Amino acid sequence: MSKIRTIVYGVGATGQNVTRHLAERGVDIVGAIGRVENVGADLGTVAELDRELNVEINDDADDVLENTEADVAIVSIASTLEEMYPHLKRCLEAGVNVITTSEETLYPWYTSPDLAGRLDRIAIENDVTFTGGGYQDIFEVNLPVMLTGASRKLDGVDGTNRYNIDDYGPAVVEYFFGGKDRDDVEEKLERGGAPESLFRTTLEAQIAELGLSEADASQKATPIVADRAVESEALGRTIQEGEVLGLEIDVTIETHEGITFTGTEIAKVYDTEEEDRNEWVIEGTPEMHVVDQPTPVEVGTSTQIVNRLPDIINYESGFVSVTELPRPKYRVGPLETYLD
């Protein structure tokens, strides 16, 4: 049986983690698409493996997609569907299945329904499957939804997700205003310029999986300000006292069924001795509380992406949510042996 053939589309911090895990699992990496500064370099070298992969990084995505006969592209470029759309469209039109770490693509049917609908049609027309996944898959969707199965009565779901945006490169740091002037950020937030919470799509995926319907959604963003100098590897400089480290975004979603979903997203450049935290409270009878700290956000993103590859290839064509896919699990054998 032939190995799964993959393209690593985006070779920043996340793409490099994905590359390392693909190499460990013996998946064929047949192409790599990256920015100009990495063009011509071997993907194994950029991902800091102990060997070259004989995969040269190329900034011509069309060339890679057309000439590699890949089964699936793993796309790690940006967080919002608007930014991701041209990259995803390009892959789907080339007849390549897609899984992306873009947070909004986890469940974009409320935040970007038009773009999601277009990608769904393109995927169906080209007989390929597309989903958004990664860390959110298990820790933010499947885990809390499964816990609700122990409820006699469900009143609400409340989550907290804390992570170091410095681990994910400059684009993510800038998305959350890391390194910006406090006054400028506060003024922008007052004008309604807050970025959409990436946690909102998590709650909406839970709502969909539970068969509920959204009635109203709101969010409030507050800048997290440095009280001393903090180094940012992603920005390549020191964030000074008084500058913004990131944002705390509180999200509330009411459902027509009377069950409330709330979430607090703490996305910041970490100071020393801070660590990731994923926490869920299932409110009702009985009340349940689960905490994962430190949460393996960085590693968990790549492992969940790679473990999902057979599910993506096996599933029917179109834009599917991880809630529609089989329950995620570890595969002991070679991943190609799990293909239909």
**pLDDT value, residue 78:** 86
- Strand ordering across the sheet containing 153-164: 214-225, 244-255, 260-268, 153-164, 277-285, 288-292
CA–CA separation, 266 and 193 (whole Å): 18
pLDDT of residue 299: 82
Alpha-helical (H) ranges within 149-181 are: 170-175
What's the pTM value of the predicted model, to 2 decimals? 0.90
281 C-beta neighbours (distance < 10 Å), count: 18
Q: What are the tens digits of pLDDT across the range 161-187?
A: 999 999 888 888 999 999 999 999 999
* HEC assignment per residue over 247-258: EEEEEEEEECCC
Token pair, residue 145, equals 């939804």
Instruction: List phi, psi (to 5°) of 265.
Output: -105, 120
CB 230 within 8 A of CB 285: no
Residue with tokens 């940012």: 232
Residues of the chain with pLDDT under 70: none
DSSP 128: -
Domains of the chain listed by start with CATH number = 5-133+308-338 (3.40.50.720), 136-295 (3.30.360)
pLDDT at 87 (0 to 100): 97
Supply the pLDDT for residue 74: 98
Q: Which pLDDT value is given to residue 287?
A: 97
pLDDT in tens, 266-320: 999 999 889 999 999 999 999 999 999 888 877 888 999 999 999 999 999 999 9
Among the listed residues 195, 136, 140, 142, the one whose alpha carbon sits nearest the alpha carbon of residue 171: 195
Q: Give the residues across from 31 on adjacent strands.
A: 7
Tokens 């996944």 found at: 133
Measured distance CA(109)–CA(178) in Å, rounded: 28
127-165 in b/e form (b: 16+ CB < 10 A) is: ebbbbbbbbbbbbbbbbbbebbeebeebebbbbbbbbbb
Closest C-alpha to 282, from 141, 158, 165, 170 = 158
Burial zone of 205 (CB within 10 Å; 0-12 exposed, 13-18 middle, 19+ buried):
buried
